[in-house]
Amino acid sequence: MPKKSKKTLVLIDSNALIHRAFHALPPLTTKGGKPSGAVYGVALTLLSVFEKFKPDYVIAAFDLKGKTFRHEKFKEYKAKRVKAPDELYEQIPVVKEMMGAFGIPVYEKKGFEADDVIGTISKDKKLDGDIERIIVTGDMDTLQLVDDDTKVFTLRRGIKDTFIFDENQVRNRFELNPDQIVDYKALRGDPSDNIPGVAGVGEKTATELLKKYKTLDGVYGNIEEIVPEGVKNKLKKGEDDAYLSQELAEIQLDVPVDFQLEDALADDPEGNENLIEFFSEMGFHSLVKRVGGGDKTQKQFSNQVTIELVEDKTGVEKIVKEIKKEKKFSYCLLTDGDKFFESKISGFGVSVDGNKSFFVDVMYENSLKSLFEDESIEKIGFNVKFDLEMLAKKWLSGDDGEKLSENLYSDESVWQSNVFDVQIGAYLLGLNAAELSKLILSEFGAELQNTNSFSGQANLLAGTDESKKKDVAERASWVLRSALDVRERMNKISKQQAKDATLGNIWEKMEKSVVSILAKMEVAGMKVDKNILKKVSELAQKEIGELKKKIHDLAGEEFNINSPSQIAQILFEKLKIPTIDIKKGKTCFSTNAEQLAKIRDAHPIVPLIEKYREFFKMKSTYADSLPDLVESDGRIHAHFNQAVAATGRLSSSDPNMQNIPKRGKFADLMRQAFVADKGKILVSADYSQIDLRVAAHLSEDEKMVEIFKNGKDIHTSTAAWVNEVSEKEIDKVKRNEAKSLNFGILYGMGQYGFMRDSGVSGERAKFFIEHYKKTFAGLTQFIEKTKEDARKSGFVETELGRRRYVPNIKASNAMIRGAAERVAVNLPVQGLAADIMKLSMIAAEEHLKKINKEKTVAKMILQIHDELVFEVDENLEKEFSSAIKKVMESVYELCVPLTVDVTSGKNWKEL
């Protein structure tokens, strides 16, 4: 960079940057769950500013909470601006803390805005013509300050799209000089700040008036000659608003701030220990490396990805040769549709070293097929499950999804095991693993340059052909870079863990196998009878109509029962139902399910509204929506998400199969719509009370262990011991109380939560909890020890090495600390239960491979909570049921028996 002729003072409009970063970036959080996206975005901007301008001096200006002098002049100033979310305001003090780590002094003054502080300092007499001022902002308000010595560096879109305004650029943009911008706003107004301007005068008119008359005074000094007559009349009518707007828009240059240039001397971010420590605490690992901290793994990569569109077979063969030499490559698929049965692969993004990427058209797929099937070559992807589905469909069935469903076990080489899924690895580390773009933004401070979306795989539905090809190629490079970073961090943690209980083992021996199992499960899908769903919709609609009439009759008027605010108005204002203990929202009292349950007996309209909501949801969310998700093979192919739940449990989406109703008037009929195919039967294998068995194993509580070893029902036994009666005297009510207590104590539910869930009185709840803790002293000690260990280390782990960080475990706020304590106890129990379920899926898959050698006679089609569902040939029902029970009960050794209940039926309701 050439030597600067002037010194440079950078003035940071901090609040503008915070707002821009908050809205431009995906929501990021620290390991403690606190929002950090705005802090990260401002950090990226500051580092870019230091790299670009090499400033000699830097200051940061902030707005202070409260009204300014502009509000005194015009109480409606900024009144229409929508209040930003609390997550944004939470980050302002953290940004100030970061400014301190950068060594940047903060200036703010009550009654003034950051722009006024910046204006005052930029025009300070202590600054001479040898100091260039660069104002860094996220909006255009400071353009009025631009002159020979002052430029504005603004973020136009996101945080990477920037632009520098000097006097010429202001003139090019507005056809006006910088010193005319205030009068421009006086005439046109500024909707973002609710500055009124002159009613009816827009951008074009304001510009033309100022080009001719130079200033606002010039406009009104020549008011009589202005044409057309309509504009003259608007200006006359709006004169007071124009001069008020001028006062509001003008940045003040005399704010009483004690600015000393020597205080603003800039520190080089490179090697700044305070900054390295701050970034480390925030979890900004890529920024730690960027300022010279941490390891140097990523230094091997250039800032830009070189992309080549391969157009001939010779080029493809050269890539294949390089991959065979390196024994690994990263990739990203280009597909042309959203639905599995309709989409096809159109090309491949491929990278070998992370610096250079290639796009290979699908016409050369045969050259790549051998690489994907070669067990000695590692394939590195992001969301590999999707990739395996697409590749298997192409190479096992010629893009025919229905044939693939029957050929799942015909060629295991396609369901490759030598893979690394960056998404799962990032998830195991607790990183933002939802999408590749979010991961590289949070871990590398980089944005994809060839896409406008945050999709996982590239898609042909948007963008030009060339941009889509470059997109998948660029992603392939970032997949490889991310893989190196993720692996390095996984290995580092694994070295700190017990020998056979590491994050590395969780990936190698569990999650990696689950990837291909879930791919097969999604491809298999579950058959749906649309006629039954139609019947549910019709019956629900009839009930809805009848309920609607009854509700309106009781209310004495018609209203929208789907509107929470209208329900609140009817219940609490018209019918005068007491609002004691009812939560209040921003506009009205809440009418969610929890609040309605509190007033269920207060008026007969309330249970009717609850029923209405139940039937309306059944109809709209399920009966009417599920048919749209049925694909051409008559089956729903739900997604199973491996990188969402922190405990390791799988979740489901499109549709969420875990949420298909089990209870309610139409629940049985709804579940009858999920059926076995012709000649098949559904087999369910469900772990019995696995969370409590795991808790007994981990706590070694004598009484819990005794119950399970003797094959007793733990809820009945618990009720007997706590109530000090025999098990024969325990009825359904007492058992349900004990059930609520068993899970409530384990997962940190307090007395009031137990009262709510069980329906018992406060006195009885207190009695139950006290006796429970004495009865199950071993469990109580385990819970307390787990919390204490979490306080010491800052994290908790499962018995197999899955880890979760809980930094809020030491929070001074009791509610925040209590939530962290619940997380701490939850992970070892639910996490091990989730690990056991995944091990059972792996064992079940091995059994399926054995019995499906000749043809597909059984498939795993569903995983819900602690249950696996299979679709099996009818003649194999008994044999398969017996085998799968043995398989699942023997996958992991606890100090109490693992018990699996196996049922079968022609539809889901029968299971």
39-96 confidence digits (pLDDT tens): 999 999 999 899 999 999 999 999 998 889 988 888 888 887 777 888 899 999 999 9
User: What pTM was computed for the model?
Assistant: 0.79
Structure-model confidence comparison of residues 584 and 676, the more confident one: 676
The DSSP secondary structure of 614-681, one letter per residue, reads: HHHHIIIIIITTHHHHB-TTSEE--EEESSS-TTS--EEESS-GGGS--SSTTHHHHHHTEEPPTTEE
pLDDT at 460: 41
Residue 810 clears pLDDT 90, i.e. is over it: no
Q: What is the mean pLDDT of residues 822-847?
A: 95
Please report which confidence band the pLDDT of residue 32 belongs to, taking 50, 70 and 90 as the band edges: low
For 469, counting Cβ atoms within 10 Å of its Cβ (0-12 exposed, 13-18 middle, 19+ buried), the class is buried
The span from the CA of 577 to the CA of 890, in Å, is 56
For the chain, give the mean pLDDT: 89
**Cα angle, residue 820 at apex, residues 817 and 822 outer, rounded to 5°:** 115
Residue 462 clears pLDDT 50, i.e. is over it: no
Please report which confidence band the pLDDT of residue 682 belongs to, taking 50, 70 and 90 as the band edges: very high
pLDDT at 884: 98
Residue 416 clears pLDDT 90, i.e. is over it: no
DSSP letter (8 states) at residue 413: T
Please report which confidence band the pLDDT of residue 130 belongs to, taking 50, 70 and 90 as the band edges: confident
Residue 111: both structure tokens together: 């009654």
pLDDT at 400: 81
Q: What is the mean pLDDT of residues 2-18?
A: 85
pLDDT tens digits for range 468-517: 999 999 999 999 999 999 999 999 999 999 988 999 999 999 999 999 99
Structure-model confidence comparison of residues 280 and 889, the more confident one: 889
Please report which confidence band the pLDDT of residue 1 belongs to, taking 50, 70 and 90 as the band edges: very low
Residue 776 clears pLDDT 60, i.e. is over it: yes
Q: What is the mean pLDDT of residues 177-194?
A: 92
Residue 551 clears pLDDT 60, i.e. is over it: yes
Please report which confidence band the pLDDT of residue 455 belongs to, taking 50, 70 and 90 as the band edges: very low
The span from the CA of 702 to the CA of 100, in Å, is 54
Residue 2 clears pLDDT 50, i.e. is over it: no
**Nearest Cα residue to 20 out of 106, 137, 186, 109:** 137
Residue 334: both structure tokens together: 């280009």
Low-confidence winner among 131-140, 169-178, 195-204, 396-405 (lowest mean pLDDT): 396-405
pLDDT at 459: 47
Please report which confidence band the pLDDT of residue 734 belongs to, taking 50, 70 and 90 as the band edges: confident
Residue 29 clears pLDDT 80, i.e. is over it: no
Is residue 57 within 8 Å of 11, Cβ to Cβ? no
Please report which confidence band the pLDDT of residue 33 belongs to, taking 50, 70 and 90 as the band edges: low
pLDDT tens digits for range 612-661: 999 999 999 999 999 999 998 999 999 999 999 889 999 999 999 999 99
pLDDT at 66: 86
Residue 583: both structure tokens together: 């939560």
Residue 453 clears pLDDT 70, i.e. is over it: no
pLDDT at 904: 97
Is residue 477 within 8 Å of 354, Cβ to Cβ? yes
* Sign of the alpha-carbon dihedral angle for 878, 879, 884, 885: positive
**Nearest Cα residue to 417 out of 513, 484, 327:** 513
At 657, which amino acid appears? M
Phi and psi at 155, nearest 5°, equal: -90, 120
